[in-house]
Structures are given as C-alpha cells and as structure tokens.
C-alpha cells in the first residue's frame, strides 16, 4: 500500500528535560541544566492522529481513524462533522458519540503507528508508521517513555488556537516539566503542529517561556500550503492511490469533513506574505451566449478565490442518516481562520527559547491549481468539486513549499533544508542527526528497552 505524499499534514513531537543520568538506560543525554526531556506533539489538518469514537452512554471506544479496513464506512458514520459557530468547535453529526484522541503510552500511542492493528503490524505496513522511527531513535538515545519522552495528539478537526487544544498542551507541558524534576522541555513539532505551537506562544507566552528550552519544528506551513489546501477545499484529499484506494477513505468523503474543519482554513496561503509569485487558481471555462461558445482561462488570485470557493461549493451537501446536510464554503470558519492568521503574524519567540527549523526540499510541491482544460472546459463552477486538478509545482517536500516552511519569522539558531518528503522527514537519517546534535544526545549505546508501541489495538472491529 502506498500513501499519497502530497497534501499531508502532521503535527509535533516534544521532548522534556531534566532526568538524572541514573534514570536513563545507558543512553547519553546532555547533562546541562536544560537538557533532556522530550515531549512529542503531532497533529494534522488532514488527519494525522489516531482518533476513537466513544459512546457517551456506555463509554466504550472504537478506533475510527486511522484504519485500513471498513475505513470509508466508519469515517462517514462517525467522523463527518459540522462547524458550530456558537462554540467555535467542529462537532460530529453522530450526537451519540464523542471523538477523542487516546493518550495511552504517555501520549505516544496516537502518533506512533497510525493503524496499530495486529493486521497492520503483521504485514509491517510502514506507510502508517508515523512518528514510529523517531520515537525509536529517541529511546535509543536514552529517553524513557513517561519520564523524559511524551507525546501529544489532538483533534485535527479543530482550530489550532481553540481552547481545548491550548489547555491540553498546557497540561502536557506541565506534566512533562514535573516528570523531569522541574527542568525545561524540548519540543519537536511536525507540520501543522508547528502552527499549534505558534498559536500557543502568542496566547500563552509566559507559560511557554516557563516550561520550554528548545523548539525544533519540521515541515511547518508557516505561510500556508497554497496548492494542497486550495484543492482540498474544492475536491478533497486522497491518501491512498491505485487499487488500495477502494479500501480506504475516499477523496470525496475526506472533502466533506475537511470543508468543515477550521484547521484546514488556517493553512490557506497567507495574504500578508510576500510570495515570490502569488498563488492562484485557474479554471478553463466554457461560456455560451446567443448560440456562440467561447473558452477562456480564468485566473483567481488571493482576492478572488473567495468568490470561486463560494460558487464552487454553493450546492455542496451530504446525506447523513437520511437527512440532507448543506456544506457550502463556510464564511464563519474563514473569519475565524483569518483571526488565527493575525495571531500567527504577531507571534514572537520568547527570550531564552532556542528555535530550530527543518524544511523539506527537492520534491515537486503543488502551488498553483488548474481545473478543466482547453479541450474539456468547465461549464458551471460547481463541476470543479468533481474534477481532478492539474498543479504547477515549486520546490518543497511534496506538500509544503520550502518558501513557506522557511518563513517562520523567528530568530532561528539554524534553518536546514533536507531533501525528503513531508512524511519522509520523520524517518530521515539527516533529520535524526540534526535533532541529536541540537539536543546534545547520542545513540552510541543501544538501550535495552522496548522500541515499539506499548499499546496493541486488538479489537477485531477495528481491523
């Protein structure tokens, strides 16, 4: 099985600090006053955590994301959601259940192997081994789960600045700080997780400064991901291609969720960023008037895209439980996301926190998007939603343009480009070496500790 690399957003990992050397299993950690705890976050606008449905009445849990078998059916039944402008949260259409992110294995379970079923582990389907290799690397360096190594998974549907996620991160930082004996935490974030950390800094700078020593971020779309996100709002997201796609969540099923997710709108291209070339959407249109037909290539810049989104999605709807649910372009979410962009633009790194940025290079990365063709033009803009796009590409990791990932606006200790894909960066040897160097650790001696996830999902209905 091959998971599609483009348009794939993940989140962070975090390291804490400050265990005594005697608490480590032969690994070598930096012994300075700010050195060793690791906390890991990971989140994704496109679904990079394990998520469970939990029956409100009975409390029983079943994994609904990520799963290989019966994926599309369970996804539509339990994860399809709508945005509630009164609360700011995206809420499941199934009001008998709630969606939760399991925090087993000290928060590492939900970001380790995204489908931890026995079926996946026996076949060693490494495409869903998300932070698995990085967690193993850190364990080999001497980090101990629950003492100096933690994870933080959260509901990828929600805004990166929503209270629930901010409170969860605050609690995780406090717990890691206490577990380390009162020493500061080092954070490693990936993709959208970097935006969550940025929002936390802007809203809780004093707390971040109190608990955090170093922040390493990987493949973060600081200024958005134009090609991927513009297309996601119009046609959806395809995780699996080829024959295997019949067994996974369909592109359109994913679209009907993501069009109601603030996290996706928050990764639209920043209108305030000075792009080398302004991102655009193009549409080959057919116009008929007085029995005459003309074909034109229409271009939508950043100020015109809203009109395109409105027209393309005005008839968008889904059927849930026999009821029709209208899902047009959501102006309430867009307004909220614009507020998030303002927060991100004013974020300043607290003094005393060291920042490092790793970004992907050498991969064709979607930037501009085009629908239709001169030989097969689009009549009504609503047809776009069922049309496969053509991209123009720039350099990046296949998902996030390097131009965006580099533009953190912080005073970085180092920014390093690595030739790897968006997900591939999480298992890249050069990335691992950079992380070890920046954390001041080594893996000279392998630790005698289980490297795999402590939690095995054995529920047969989750396969």
What is the rounded average pLDDT for all residues in the chain? Answer: 80
Domain coverage including residue 249: 13-462
Whole-number pLDDT of residue 57? 57
Sign of the CA dihedral with 103 first, then 128, 145, and 461 last: positive
Whole-number pLDDT of residue 87? 94
**Domain-located, residue 331:** yes
Of the pLDDT bands very low, low, confident and very high (cuts 50, 70, 90), residue 155 is confident
**Domain-located, residue 322:** yes
- Could you say which of 94, 115, 231, 397 is catalytic? 397
- Could you say which of 6, 130, 422, 457 is catalytic? 422
With a cut of 50, say whether residue 279 has pLDDT above it. Answer: yes
Residue where the block lists tokens 């709002």: 233
- Residues 230-259 have a mean pLDDT of 76
Lowest mean pLDDT among 104-118, 194-208, 297-311: 104-118
Kindly report, residue by residue over 166-194, the tens digit of the pLDDT. 999 999 899 888 888 888 999 999 999 99
Cα dihedral 170→176→178→180 (10° resolution): -150
Output the domain CATH number for residue 30.
Answer: 3.40.50.1820
With a cut of 80, say whether residue 313 has pLDDT above it. Answer: yes
**Domain-located, residue 387:** yes
**Domain-located, residue 4:** no
Structure-block tokens of residue 187: 């954070």
Lowest mean pLDDT among 127-131, 160-164, 287-291, 382-386: 127-131
Lowest mean pLDDT among 93-102, 158-167, 242-251, 329-338: 242-251
- Enumerate the β-bridge partners of residue 231: none
Kindly report, residue by residue over 358-411, the tens digit of the pLDDT. 999 999 999 999 999 999 999 999 999 999 999 999 999 999 999 999 999 999
- Residues 230-238 have a mean pLDDT of 90
Beta-carbon count within 10 A of 452 CB: 15
Q: Tell me what percent of the residues of the chain surpass a pLDDT of 70.
A: 71
Nearest alpha carbon to residue 300 among 321, 284, 288: 284
Alpha helices (H) along 124-270? 132-140, 163-179, 192-203, 205-211, 226-235, 251-258, 262-265
Assess contact for 156 and 47: CB atoms under 8 A.
yes
With a cut of 80, say whether residue 286 has pLDDT above it. Answer: yes
Of the pLDDT bands very low, low, confident and very high (cuts 50, 70, 90), residue 100 is low
**Domain-located, residue 421:** yes
Whole-number pLDDT of residue 124? 52
With a cut of 60, say whether residue 317 has pLDDT above it. Answer: yes
Model pTM greater than 0.85?
no
Indicate if 397 belongs to the active site.
yes
Q: How many domains does the chain have?
A: 1
Indicate if 408 belongs to the active site.
no
Q: How far is 340 from 313, CA to CA, in rounded Å? A: 23
Whole-number pLDDT of residue 152? 86
The residues near 345 (Cβ < 8 Å, ≥ 6 apart) are 270, 272, 409
The residues near 169 (Cβ < 8 Å, ≥ 6 apart) are 41, 152, 154, 196, 197, 200
Beta-carbon count within 10 A of 198 CB: 26
**Domain-located, residue 8:** no
How far from chain centre, in Å, is Cα 297? 33
Alpha helices (H) along 268-322? 305-313
- Please give the residue that has the higher pLDDT: either 292 or 286: 286
**Domain-located, residue 7:** no
Of the pLDDT bands very low, low, confident and very high (cuts 50, 70, 90), residue 344 is very high
- Residues 328-340 have a mean pLDDT of 97
- Could you say which of 191, 198, 404, 453 is catalytic? 191
* Angle of the 251-258 helix axis to the 226-235 helix axis, nearest 10: 100
**Domain-located, residue 252:** yes
């Amino acid at each position: 099985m091959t998971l599609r690399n483009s348009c794939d957003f993940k989140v962070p990992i975090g390291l804490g600090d400050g265990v005594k050397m005697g608490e480590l299993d032969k690994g070598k950690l930096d012994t300075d006053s700010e050195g060793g705890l690791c906390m890991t976050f990971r989140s994704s606008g496109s679904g990079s955590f394990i998520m469970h449905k939990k029956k409100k009445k009975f409390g029983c849990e079943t994994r609904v994301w990520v799963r290989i078998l019966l994926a599309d059916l369970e996804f539509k039944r339990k994860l399809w959601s709508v945005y509630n402008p009164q609360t700011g949260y995206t809420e499941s259409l199934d009001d008998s259940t709630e969606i939760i992110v399991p925090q087993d294995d000290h928060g590492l379970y939900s970001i380790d192997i995204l489908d931890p079923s026995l079926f996946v582990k026996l076949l060693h389907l490494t495409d869903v081994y998300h932070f698995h290799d990085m967690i193993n690397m850190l364990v080999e360096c001497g980090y101990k789960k629950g003492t100096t190594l933690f994870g933080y998974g959260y509901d990828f549907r929600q805004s990166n600045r929503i209270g629930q996620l901010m409170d969860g991160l605050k609690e995780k930082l406090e717990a890691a700080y206490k577990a380390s004996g009162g020493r500061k935490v080092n954070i490693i974030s990936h993709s959208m997780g970097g935006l969550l950390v940025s929002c936390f800094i802007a809203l809780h700078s004093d707390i971040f400064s109190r608990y955090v020593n170093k922040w390493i971020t990987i493949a973060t779309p600081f200024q958005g991901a134009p090609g991927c996100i513009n297309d996601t709002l119009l046609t959806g997201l395809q995780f699996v291609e080829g024959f295997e796609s019949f067994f996974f969540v369909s592109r359109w099923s994913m679209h009907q969720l993501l069009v109601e997710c603030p996290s996706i709108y928050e990764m639209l291209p920043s209108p305030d960023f000075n792009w080398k070339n302004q991102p655009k959407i193009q549409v080959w249109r057919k116009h008929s008037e007085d029995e005459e037909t003309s074909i034109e290539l229409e271009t939508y810049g950043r100020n015109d895209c809203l009109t395109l989104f409105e027209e393309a999605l005005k008839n968008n709807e889904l059927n849930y439980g026999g009821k029709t649910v209208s899902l047009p372009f959501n102006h309430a979410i867009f307004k909220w996301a614009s507020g998030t962009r303002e927060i991100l633009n004013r974020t300043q790194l607290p003094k005393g926190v060291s920042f490092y940025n790793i970004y992907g290079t050498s991969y064709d990365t979607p930037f501009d998007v085009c629908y239709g063709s001169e030989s097969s033009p689009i009549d009504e803009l609503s047809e776009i939603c069922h049309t496969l796009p053509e991209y123009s590409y720039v350099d990046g990791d296949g998902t996030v343009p390097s131009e965006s990932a580099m533009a953190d606006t912080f005073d970085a200790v180092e920014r390093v480009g690595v030739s790897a894909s968006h997900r591939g960066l999480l298992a890249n040897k050069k990335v691992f070496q950079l992380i070890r160097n920046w954390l001041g650790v080594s893996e000279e001696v392998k630790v005698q500790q289980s490297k795999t996830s402590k939690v095995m999902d054995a529920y047969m209905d989750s396969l």
